[in-house]
A and B are shown apart, each in its own frame.
Chain A
Amino acid sequence: MPRVSLRLLMLQIGSVVLLLSTLLLSPQALAAGAPTITSFTPAWGPSGTVILVTGTNFTSSSVAQIGSANVQFTYVDPTQAYVSFGAGVSSGAIRIANAVAAARSERNFVVTPTSAPGTFAQPVITGLSPNSGAAGSVVTVTGTGFNDATQVWLGSSLSVAPTIVSSTRIDFTVPPDASTGRVIVVNLQRAALSTASFTVTAGGGTTGSTTGGTTTGTTTGGSTTGGSTGGSTGGTTGGTTTGGSTTGGSTTGGSTTGGTTTGGTTTGGTTTGGTTTGGSTTGGTTGGSGPIGATEAARFLTQATFGPKLSEINSLATATSFDPWLTQQRNVTPTLQLPYLQQREASGAQMVQAERINAWLQATITGPDQLRQRVAFALSEMLVVSENFGALNFDVKGLANYYDILIRNAFGNYRTLLEEVTLSPQMGLYLSMIRNQKPDPANGIRSDENYAREIMQLFTVGLNRLNLDGTPQRDANGKAIPTYNQAEVEGLARVFTGFGPGGGSGSFAFTVLDADRLRPMSAYQEFHDTNAKTIIGNTTIAAGQQALPELRQALDVLFNHPNVGPFVSQQLIRKLVTANPSPAYVQRVATVFNNNGSGVRGDLFAVTRAILTDIEARGGGLASNPSTFGKLREPVLRLTQMWRAFDASGAGGRFNYDNPQGAFIQAPLRAPSVFNFFRPDFAPTGAIANAGLVSPEFQVTDEASISTMINELNYLVGRYRSTANPQPNPSNVVFDFRSWETLAQNPPAMVDQLNLLLMSGQMPSAMRTELINYANQIPLSEGAAVRVSEVLYLLMTSPQYAVQR
């Protein structure tokens, strides 16, 4: 197959006809199923833009359209292709057809008149060094135009956290699941493809599952899963703890792959016998290799996304493992906020915070990168900056850029994330690290302790030393052991000195300019304290260092503190799965944080996978601890779940719902303080506190907020698109009830569908009966949509719905 240079494509050399005539001879053109499109990037651009499309069953003979116009199609492999277009093409869905069938993108590609202001250099790859290596090895890419690069792919595998060394050099790590292929460097608008292939040699995959005890799952990213889930299920923990010794331990755990289905389903099968947990029984009876089942798929998607859609439930229900979905989610192109805002600004939109909320709602309701967005949202509640702060009130693009840091690094490395967050001017302003300077004894000035304290207390280690399982260590007198003391706070405060605006004015003390708000803070050595410091764990930072290397050294110390694994893991579990994870669960996830199976610490994708595929998440916790398992649904996730379930939309793809926090308490980057909307250890007075448990969301759940939310739901469910009224007020976000009109004629089936989508099939039977009875009281003469909306209201406002479990 000929190799097509992107640069050539940009010059519009190589017409579709020419490519087809040569490629028709290649074997890829012959056998393939119906194509699908999972994502494309960029989402917008002027003529000349090259679009990277990912999906399945692309062939060298495929053809492409945008809207109704034929455009250029360049085949890369069955899962990737490039589409580019010239003048005269208008916005529309991307359509790719092969000999069998055609696929259409879920979202439109938006054709813009110009690329300003978000103009990104065309990257060009000129060399790879080395040109072969095992997973985990580092490869240097040379070329040009790398300043704005956001991703490096090896074939269809995304490399986490590539390092942009300069505009001409990027280093990336060969992903654990990569196979031989060409290297792609992507910025927000354009991509470059290497001419040469990089050859993946053996050795990378086989290191996979040290913790798992078995060496399955080597190729398809099963290495980490094998490590976490296989380890817990098939290995020591699962076998002994969950009593799954017969099925869970020996038979399935190690042998198939990853043991993802195995874990959950084994417990479901043996312990509960399928009485309550419905979905997981299916898997249980077939020993874990059977299909996941609809209710378990819905339950998983409720933990992993902003709410399941029917199509996603159906697709996952027939799978036998969560791995392909997880891998697909890892690889799908991130939906970023800043590029969208820049596009809006270019088209004349005022940069108000509502634009940022709109971008977030679009991504969370319609974005393909659901898991990444969900993890990013969780991170935004841990690494908090907030619009509710003078210096950030009007910093719309800066906050979008901060959120993009979380999105980009959601599957990256926690150490990288920590550094980007630390150097972000938004964090600098929020926790007053920007323009923090060395002590000035003559003027009685110390270094600011704010960031030093909170990065330890909230972002990395917490107040007290933890065991690997997240429980506090105790001294001989049974007291908790502090992780750091005041002198170490003061030492770290002096490390974080000398960081100022990112170069706009070149002045440390000058006002933070707009341009500075989109760049990491810069080091100003003359304001940096170069004395020696003592930081956490009585660690000495040597005198005489430059600001940035010293900051990195301190971040390394924090990142490698043994608390970080359990501290971060426990918080992420609380956000995604359950408020009170067992210590064993925390330990299994923290173990993956400490080592993803390939010797890498802080791999957030591996951590996310470990959380979601753990036996406790997949049915074990629900079966063995029904009285504590689960969590009160985060308020704003109720909104997104509902809107996703009913394909809500607004005119032009916009979601004009500017203040979600008004009724749903939360909105991205709008917490009242660095302690988030609610603290991870909050316990409401009464039974939960008395049992020594937590339920964080109750910190914002009170009479006032319950009433406000219920009343807003009453209002929202009345805004919908129906057959009778297909185009309601375009400035609103509206549900689409059109596909429910047949179902509404059959109340039991309608309620069952609502149950699956919104309650993962966990609706008590008395409630089901009540909702069916109520539906029957709404005459169809009023319209099927009225019936759906009325029942939806009752479901969404019920206590039965309120807990995710």
Chain B
Amino acid sequence: MNILKKATRRDVLRLGVQTAASSSMLATLGTYQRAMAAVDTRGYKALVCVFLYGGNDGFNLVVPRSSPAYNTYAASRRNLALAQNSLLAINPLTSDGNQYGLHPNCAGLQNLFESSRMAIVANTGTLIQPTTPAQFRAANVPLPPNLFSHADQSQQWQTSIPNSIQPQGWGGRIADLLNAQGYGNPNLATNISLNGSNIWQGGNNTIFYTLGENGAPVLYDYQYPGYRSGTRRASFDRLLQQATASTDGNLHFREYTRSVNRTIASSQYVNNALNAAPALTTVFPSSGIGNQLRLAARMISARSQLGLSRQLFFVGLNGFDQHDNHLSAHGGLLSQLSPALKAFYDATVEMGIQNSVTAFTASDFGRTLSSNGTGSVAGSDHGWGNHHLVIGGAVQGRRIYGSMPDLSLNGPNDAGSGRIVPTISTDQYSATLARWFGADDSDLDLLFPNLRNFSTRNLSFV
């Protein structure tokens, strides 16, 4: 399905361009009726962004396990190297002559990969155009601004517009387009965050809806409308109406008023839908990321009740910025991530919707191969290219996409200190996901303005 019809291209062309301030809620204009009249849940699709905040060490997530590639890895990583015999073997259908394994705490991911439900996208990162280490050092090609800075790189991952004035996420821009075509729902945003604020889901006109880990808390006066015979609820509502209708143009005030209105409009709607939706029996690990993915699964389970045929979810896991104590801390996080992603996939199988749900990882950057200390203070610093995971029934799994980089220090992929220059751009990665979600090839350039600088437009992993 083409989500970018001609009529909407004018809107798309505004991407990244600073427009006159407009508080119009395009997301809820004109399309209500269509959306409510016939929601196409048969064509349901969901995209789940799993953001690994701080910069996941993908080079310790997917590791060469055959010699001599392992030896090269170990020589670069030194005290950050995982033991060769600890790696969980994977057997990709693609081959570059080396054998690979996953981090020992990733049994769930190993299972997904081996059963063709997961793909690995190698050495992916922010780029403006194809770039070699020599070009990076000579700085004679355009480079993403503020490489190695958390805030900037995680923003570029989520926007795919490195120089944007406004941080609009590509997930948000897709939702702009979906809403403009009637996929929206006046009661609930297409984009749901289970991890608070993020950049990926904010579009030109799209606001995302944030759920707590336990669902949508309902305001006291709405949960107990009979409190003080309804008089306080009535006063509360009138004050909110006054604020909404106020001529006070203060932008902070207007934005907050919108937020409160949205909170009230959505929370009961979501809870009613969740309560009416089929229950899930899949057991999720009890962790932050487990709870987030469990609620995402429940929101998918409630898709009919919610009246949404397209959903974009955002979940997040913090703590990957391991400058110290790297091996132990990274292992701890992966032992939370792996079973949570496995449970999420299992839940989509339980719902029979696994072919319509794709989860993918994103992260600030990869990490340096080289170590920055000894003993418990051994850690890694901010890198660039990184390996990423895509999970779902529609994924062409058990494959590694792109080229696994040469991991030798000062080798052909090294920008210095084992900061590996990406060979796949985030635009290629994200555009492949957007295409699966329904974007048309001709429209991808509008969503991902630098995609045209890369010859492979579709990585075909999904």
Contacts and interface: CB of A to CB of B under 8 A. Distances in A.
Interface in A446-463: 446-450, 453, 457, 463
B146 A448 contact: no
B259 A703 contact: yes
Contacts of B212: 704, 707-708
Nearest to A702: B210
A220 interface: no
A435 interface: yes
Contacts of A793: 232
A445 B254 contact: no
A683 B231 CA distance: 36
A690 B20 contact: yes
Interface stretch (A59-67, A75-83, A766-774): A766-774
Q: What interface size band does chain A fall in?
A: 35 or more
Interface in A560-591: 579
Among A482, A489, A798, max chain B CB count under 10 A is at A798
Contact of B75 (A444, A679, A693, A802): A444
Contacts of A689: 166-167, 202
Contacts of B250: 626-630, 803, 805
Contact of B373 (A435, A579, A683): A435
Nearest to A790: B232
A703 B262 contact: yes
Contact of A774 (B149, B208, B231, B375): B231
Contacts of A683: 166-167
B242 interface: yes
B430 interface: no
B98 interface: no
A431 B23 CA distance: 40
B426 interface: no
A476 interface: no
A799 B240 contact: yes
B252 A631 contact: yes
Contact of A434 (B19, B236, B377): B377
Contacts of B267: 703, 707
A8 interface: no
A486 B172 CA distance: 32
Given A689-B166, A711-B220, A446 B251 contact: no
B252 A695 contact: yes
A704 B196 contact: yes
Given A448-B377, A673-B318, A685 B216 contact: no
Interface string A693-710: 101001111111111101
A432 B323 contact: yes
A549 interface: no
Interface string A44-79: 000000000000000000000000000000000000
B374 A432 contact: no
B76 interface: yes
Interface in A416-454: 429, 431-432, 434-437, 440, 443-450, 453
A803 B259 CA distance: 13
B381 A448 contact: yes
B358 interface: no
Nearest to B243: A799
A431 B232 CA distance: 48
Interface in A746-805: 764, 766-767, 770-771, 773-774, 777-778, 790, 793-794, 797-800, 802-803, 805
Contacts of A764: 242, 246, 248
A672 interface: yes
Contacts, number: 244
A444 B382 CA distance: 16
B377 A457 contact: no
A450 B239 contact: no
Interface string A147-186: 0000000000000000000000000000000000000000
A647 B352 CA distance: 58
A457 B149 contact: yes
Contacts of B252: 579, 630-632, 688, 695, 802-803, 805
Contacts of B197: 682, 698-700, 702
Contacts of B193: 702
A750 to B, nearest CB: 15
Nearest to A675: B151
Interface string B214-245: 00111111000000100110011011101100
Contacts of B235: 770-771, 773-774, 794
Interface residues of B, number: 94
B30 interface: no
Contacts of A390: 325, 329
Contacts of A767: 239, 242
A588 B331 CA distance: 50
B139 to A, nearest CB: 9
A692 B256 contact: no
B172 A707 contact: no
B416 interface: yes
A688 B372 contact: no
A480 interface: yes
A228 B398 CA distance: 66
A747 to B, nearest CB: 13
B53 A627 contact: no
B22 A687 contact: yes
B409 A687 contact: no
B261 to A, nearest CB: 9
A445 B168 contact: no
A444 B409 contact: yes
B370 interface: yes
Given A632-B256, A794-B232, A800 B242 contact: yes
A692 B18 contact: yes
B76 A450 contact: no
B373 A445 contact: yes
Contact of B377 (A432, A493, A628, A692): A432
Interface string B67-90: 000000001101100000000000
B209 interface: yes
B211 interface: yes
Contacts of A489: 148
Contacts of A687: 21-23, 251, 254-255
A714 B220 contact: yes
Contacts of A771: 235
Given A446-B417, A627-B251, A692-B18, A774 B172 contact: no
A318 B193 CA distance: 50
A805 B370 CA distance: 50
A652 interface: no
B193 to A, nearest CB: 7
A277 B17 CA distance: 36
Interface string A475-518: 00000101000100110010000000000000001000000000
A444 B259 contact: no
B166 A444 contact: no
A143 interface: no
B152 interface: yes
A688 B166 CA distance: 10
B217 A704 contact: yes
Among B329, B373, B417, max chain A CB count under 10 A is at B373
Interface string B139-172: 0000001111111100000000000011110001
A684 interface: yes
A690 B242 contact: no
A31 interface: no
A332 B338 CA distance: 54
Contacts of B231: 774, 777
A707 B216 contact: yes
B379 interface: yes
B16 interface: no
9 contacts: A443-B374, A449-B381, A626-B250, A673-B321, A685-B168, A688-B252, A714-B221, A778-B228, A802-B253
Given A509-B374, A632-B255, 14 more contacts: A432-B373, A436-B373, A444-B75, A444-B371, A482-B145, A628-B250, A632-B256, A672-B318, A686-B258, A687-B251, A702-B210, A703-B263, A707-B263, A794-B232
